C-alpha cells in the first residue's frame, strides 16, 4: 500500500502547504514518502561475509549504486579530491553500506577552508541522500523506448538511485546501500587555492568524510550568462495536479517556484508556452492546455484573452528565464483546434488540414493579434511560433501563413533537417543523429540563428532515462561542443508520472523519459550531470575563444583532438564516463 507522510512546517496549512508569496521553501521537500520495494533481494551470503557493520566511503558519480548490492570497493575512500573553476558547481557521491537499520540519519557539511584564509561557506555546499525510484529498460530490440507499454511485465523493472533528497533520511535499512550526493557551488569571488572541509553524521558509527577542492583562477560566468542554449520543456499542469492546486493560482505559482528556479540555475534560456489546447494530444499524464483563451463572438468575430500567457511568462522571467518564448504549436498531432463559442455557450473544435481555408481562418486572425500583443509587452523579438517533428510540406504552409500575419515573426522547429526551409527557421533543433552542413551552420551563427539538437524516446544512447548511465547526461554537453551546436533540447523537464517520486515508468515511454526533476524542487543525478556537461561546454567555448584571440592554432588543435571521440556511434562500446574522464584530463591542462 502506498504510504505518503506530509511533513508539517510552520507555514503549512492542512496537508498541502499554502505559503505566502515568495515563501517557496515551504514547498521544497514535501511530501516525505516511502520508496517502492526492490524485487532484487540482498545476497544474504555475500552480506554475511562483511566485517564492518557500517561502512561509509566516497564513491563515483558515474555509478548508480544498487540498494541491495554491495559496492565493489571494499577500501574506504575517506578523502575526495576535485577541481573547479570559480563560479562552477561540482559533484561528488558517497555511499553508506550497513548491516543494521540506521534510524534518522543526518549529514552536516562544514565550511571549506584554504590555508591562505579563503573560505567556501557551508551554505554553498549541498549534501542530500539519494533516493531510489522504479525504472524499466529499453525496448526488446534495444532501439529506444518509444511505443506503448501497457503490460509492464514485458519489461524488466528495478529500483535505481536518482532522486537527490534532503540531508536527513528516516531510515537506512539493514543490508542496504544509501548513496549521498554532494554539490559544491564555488562562488565567483573565491580566491584560487585548495579548500578542505568535512561531511559529518549524527551517528558516531558513521565516520566523517573529507572534501578537498582545488579552485582554479579561471572563472565561469553566471548560469544566466552561459552561451549554451538549454531548452527543457516545462509542464506547469503537472505541478497543479501533483499538489492539487487551482491552475494559475498564487499557490500554484509558488509550488512551481523552487522547481523552475532549479531550471534557471541550470542556465535555461527558453519559456515553453502552449498557445492551443493539447498541442501533443494526451501523450503525458497532464496534457497541456492553451494559455490563450480564444473566443468566437455572437457576431462571428475573434477575441483573445492573454491573461494566463502573460502570468506564466512574467513568472518565468522573474526567475531569470527570459531569453526566448517558444509558443507551441500551429501543427498539432491530430489537427484539431479548440475555441469557446458564444453562440452555443460551449467549447467547440474544428478539424482542418494545414493551409486549408478553415485553418487559415482560425490561425491568421490570432497570429496578427498575437503579434500586436507581444509588441505591446515588449516580447515580440524574443518569441517564436514553434513546431516539432512536423513534415516539411506542412511546415512550408504554416510558414507562409505566419509570414502573412507578420513577416518579422520568428519560427522554431525541432525535428529533421530540411534544407528547403532551413533559412526560415530561427531556432532549429535537430534529432541527435543529424548535424547541420558545416557551411549552413556557419551562416546560421553569423546571422544570429540558434542551432541545437535533441534526444527523446528514440535514442537508446546517449539519453537521460532513469536507467541510463549517469555520465550520458554529461556527455550531451560534450557532444554539443564537438558538433558546434548552440545547445540541447529535451521535450520534458517535469511531465511527471502519477507517482513520480516512486515510479518513473510511463505507459508510452521508458523510465524517466518524461521528467528530469522531482516534486518539491528535488534535483536528480541526471539533472546534475547534465549541468556538468553544460559547464564543460562553457569551458571549451571560453578556451577556444582565448586561443582564437591569441592566434593559438596549437591550442585549437588540442581542443579539436580532445573532442574527436564524441561520436554517437562510439557509444556504448566506449562508455560515456571513460570518454569524459579522458577529455577532462586534457581540458584541465589547457
For residues 532-547, average pLDDT: 98
Using one digit for the tens of pLDDT, what is the confidence trace for 93-146?
Answer: 999 999 999 999 999 999 999 998 999 999 999 999 999 999 999 999 999 999
Per-residue pLDDT for 3 more than 50?
no
pLDDT of residue 24: 41
Q: What pairing do the DSSP bridges indicate for beta strands 176-185 and 125-135?
A: antiparallel
Using one digit for the tens of pLDDT, what is the confidence trace for 297-309?
Answer: 999 999 999 999 9
Rounded Cα distance, 448 and 442, in Å: 10
Taking CA atoms, 320 is separated from 262, 464, 563, in Å, by 11, 25, 31
Give the bridge partners for 86, in sequence order.
Answer: 219
Task: Name the 3-class secondary structure at 149.
Answer: coil
Using one digit for the tens of pLDDT, what is the confidence trace for 408-439?
Answer: 999 999 999 999 999 999 999 999 989 999 99
Using one digit for the tens of pLDDT, what is the confidence trace for 497-530?
Answer: 999 999 999 999 999 999 999 999 999 999 999 9
Q: Examine domains 40-220 and 224-587 and report if their fold is the same.
A: no
Distance from CA of residue 60 to its chain's centroid? 21
Rounded Cα distance, 333 and 347, in Å: 19
pLDDT of residue 347: 98
| 193 Ramachandran zone, left/alpha/beta (phi>0; psi -120 to 50) | left
pLDDT of residue 5: 38
Task: Name the 3-class secondary structure at 29.
Answer: coil
The domain limits of the chain are 40-220, 224-587
Cell of 565: 571521440
Rounded Cα distance, 558 and 270, in Å: 33
Using one digit for the tens of pLDDT, what is the confidence trace for 15-59?
Answer: 233 333 334 444 555 667 899 998 887 788 899 999 889 999 999
Q: Which residue in this structure is represented by grid cell 542551432? A: 451
Total Cβ atoms within 10 A of residue 43: 13
Which residues touch 145 (CB under 8 Å, ≥6 apart)? 136, 137, 138, 139, 457, 465, 509, 510, 511, 513
Q: Where are the beta strands (DSSP E) in 76-175?
A: 79-86, 89-98, 102-109, 112-114, 119-120, 125-135, 158-164, 168-172
Using one digit for the tens of pLDDT, what is the confidence trace for 145-155?
Answer: 999 987 877 89
Rounded Cα distance, 259 and 234, in Å: 10
Task: Give me the percent of the chain exceeding a pLDDT of 90.
Answer: 89
Per-residue pLDDT for 444 more than 60?
yes
Mean pLDDT of the chain, nearest integer: 93
Fold of 40-220: Immunoglobulin-like (2.60.40)
Using one digit for the tens of pLDDT, what is the confidence trace for 202-247?
Answer: 999 999 999 999 999 999 999 999 999 999 999 999 999 999 999 9
Band of pLDDT at residue 375, cut at 50, 70 and 90: very high
What secondary structure letter does DSSP report for 521? G
Per-residue pLDDT for 537 more than 80?
yes
pLDDT of residue 589: 87
Using one digit for the tens of pLDDT, what is the confidence trace for 469-500?
Answer: 999 999 999 999 999 999 999 999 999 999 99
Task: Give me the percent of the chain exceeding a pLDDT of 70.
Answer: 95
For residues 164-171, average pLDDT: 96
Rounded Cα distance, 204 and 564, in Å: 48
For residues 59-81, average pLDDT: 93
**Architecture of the domain whose range is 224-587:** Alpha-Beta Barrel (3.20)
| Cα dihedral 557, 558, 563, 564 sign | positive
Which residues touch 480 (CB under 8 Å, ≥6 apart)? 228, 452, 453, 486, 487, 488, 537
pLDDT of residue 243: 95
Question: Using an 8 Å Cβ cutoff, are 38 and 87 in contact?
Answer: no
Band of pLDDT at residue 406, cut at 50, 70 and 90: very high
pLDDT of residue 43: 81
CB environment 302-336: b (16+ within 10 A), e (fewer): bebebebbeebbebbbebbbbebbbbbbbbbeeee
Amino acid at each position: 500500500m502506498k504510504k505518503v507522510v506530509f511533513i508539517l512546517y510552520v507555514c503549512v496549512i492542512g496537508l498541502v502547504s499554502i505559503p505566502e508569496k515568495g515563501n517557496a521553501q515551504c514547498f521544497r521537500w514535501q511530501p516525505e514518502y516511502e520508496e517502492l520495494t526492490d524485487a532484487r533481494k540482498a545476497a544474504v551470503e555475500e552480506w554475511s561475509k562483511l566485517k564492518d557493520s557500517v561502512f561509509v566511503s566516497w564513491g563515483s558519480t558515474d555509478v548508480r549504486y544498487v540498494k541491495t548490492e554491495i559496492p565493489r570497493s571494499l577500501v574506504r575512500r575517506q578523502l575526495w579530491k576535485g577541481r573547479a573553476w570559480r563560479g562552477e558547481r561540482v559533484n561528488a557521491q558517497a555511499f553508506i553500506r550497513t548491516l543494521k537499520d540506521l534510524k534518522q540519519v543526518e549529514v552536516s557539511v562544514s565550511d571549506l577552508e584554504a590555508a591562505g584564509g579563503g573560505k567556501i561557506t557551508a551554505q554553498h555546499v549541498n549534501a542530500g541522500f539519494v533516493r531510489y525510484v522504479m525504472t524499466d529498460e529499453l525496448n526488446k530490440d534495444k532501439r529506444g523506448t518509444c511505443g506503448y507499454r501497457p503490460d509492464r511485465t514485458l519489461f524488466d523493472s528495478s529500483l535505481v538511485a536518482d532522486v537527490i533528497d534532503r540531508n536527513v533520511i528516516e531510515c537506512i535499512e539493514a543490508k542496504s546501500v544509501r548513496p549521498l550526493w554532494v554539490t559544491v557551488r564555488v562562488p565567483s569571488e573565491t580566491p584560487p587555492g585548495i579548500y578542505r572541509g568535512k561531511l559529518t553524521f549524527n551517528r558516531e558509527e558513521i565516520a566523517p568524510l573529507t572534501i578537498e577542492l582545488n579552485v582554479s583562477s579561471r572563472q565561469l560566468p553566471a548560469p544566466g550568462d552561459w552561451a549554451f542554449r538549454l531548452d527543457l520543456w516545462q509542464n506547469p499542469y503537472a505541478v497543479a495536479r501533483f499538489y492539487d492546486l487551482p491552475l494559475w493560482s498564487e499557490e500554484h505559482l509558488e509550488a512551481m517556484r523552487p522547481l523552475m528556479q532549479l531550471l534557471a540555475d541550470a542556465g535555461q534560456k527558453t519559456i515553453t508556452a502552449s498557445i492551443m489546447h493539447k498541442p501533443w494530444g494526451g501523450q503525458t499524464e497532464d496534457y497541456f492546455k492553451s494559455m490563450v483563451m480564444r473566443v468566437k463572438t455572437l457576431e462571428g468575430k475573434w477575441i483573445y484573452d492573454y491573461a494566463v500567457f502573460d502570468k506564466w511568462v512574467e513568472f518565468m522571467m522573474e526567475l531569470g528565464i527570459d531569453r526566448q518564448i517558444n509558443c507551441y504549436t500551429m501543427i498539432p498531432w491530430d489537427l484539431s483546434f479548440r475555441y469557446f463559442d458564444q453562440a452555443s455557450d460551449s467549447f467547440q473544435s474544428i478539424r482542418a488540414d494545414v493551409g486549408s481555408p478553415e485553418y487559415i481562418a482560425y490561425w491568421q486572425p490570432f497570429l496578427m493579434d498575437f503579434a500586436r500583443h507581444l509588441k505591446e509587452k515588449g516580447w515580440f523579438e524574443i518569441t517564436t511560433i514553434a513546431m516539432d517533428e512536423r513534415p516539411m510540406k506542412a511546415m512550408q504552409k504554416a510558414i507562409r501563413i505566419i509570414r502573412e500575419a507578420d513577416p518579422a515573426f520568428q519560427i522554431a522547429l525541432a525535428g529533421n533537417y530540411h534544407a528547403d526551409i532551413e533559412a526560415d527557421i530561427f531556432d532549429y533543433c535537430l534529432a541527435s543523429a543529424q548535424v547541420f552542413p558545416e557551411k549552413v551552420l556557419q551562416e546560421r551563427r553569423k546571422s544570429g540563428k540558434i542551432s541545437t539538437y535533441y534526444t527523446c524516446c528514440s535514442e537508446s544512447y546517449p539519453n537521460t532515462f532513469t536507467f541510463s548511465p549517469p555520465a550520458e547526461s554529461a556527455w550531451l554537453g560534450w557532444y554539443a561542443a564537438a558538433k558546434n551546436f548552440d545547445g540541447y533540447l529535451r521535450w520534458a523537464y517535469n511531465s511527471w508520472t502519477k507517482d513520480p517520486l516512486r515510479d518513473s515508468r510511463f505507459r508510452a515511454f521508458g523510465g524517466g523519459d518524461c521528467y528530469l526533476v522531482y516534486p518539491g524542487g528535488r534535483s536528480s543525478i541526471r539533472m546534475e550531470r547534465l549541468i556538468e556537461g553544460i559547464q564543460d561546454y562553457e569551458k571549451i567555448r571560453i578556451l577556444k575563444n582565448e586561443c582564437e584571440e591569441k592566434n593559438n592554432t596549437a591550442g585549437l588543435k588540442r581542443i579539436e583532438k580532445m573532442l574527436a571521440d564524441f561520436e554517437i556511434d562510439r557509444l556504448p562500446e566506449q562508455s560515456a564516463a571513460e570518454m569524459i574522464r579522458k577529455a577532462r584530463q586534457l581540458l584541465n591542462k589547457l
